Chains A and B, each alone.
Chain A
Amino acid sequence: QVPLTASMLAAALPQEQKQMLGERLYPLIQDMHPTLAGKITGMLLEIDNSELLHMLESQESLHSKVEEAVAVLQAHQAKDTAQKKG
């Protein structure tokens, strides 16, 4: 697969840019967290495209952001569960 570049992104519409980034990020995230991959990818797509490109190039950077996103997601879900219990 051809690596995604900034110039490739620049040629696309904003909505398409996120789609392209998501398609590249998803399989990498799925390797780390198979059941949460869709949600984590959705969260990470809120980040700037330039940083997302960097994450695609740097395993270390991607890994740390994914772990950050998982922590936020779990805290969010725990809060929801607590609220439902009353």
Chain B
Amino acid sequence: SNGSNINWPPEFRPGEPWKGLQNIDP
């Protein structure tokens, strides 16, 4: 794997729920 990810970084959009961090423990 070359580790390349064209979708990184996740884009923050004001007024929309932030979904960039899906793996946060509650």
Contact = CB atoms under 8 A, between A and B. Distances in A.
Our verdict on whether A and B bind, yes or no, reads yes
Interface residues on A, range: 20 to 34
A83 B18 contact: no
Contact of B12 (A13, A26, A80, A83): A26
Contact of A83 (B4, B24, B26): B4
A22 B20 CA distance: 11
B9 A73 contact: yes
Interface in B1-26: 2, 4, 6, 8-14, 17-18, 20-21, 24-26
A39 B9 contact: yes
Interface of A: 13-15, 18-19, 22-23, 25-27, 38-39, 41-43, 45-46, 73, 76, 79-80, 83
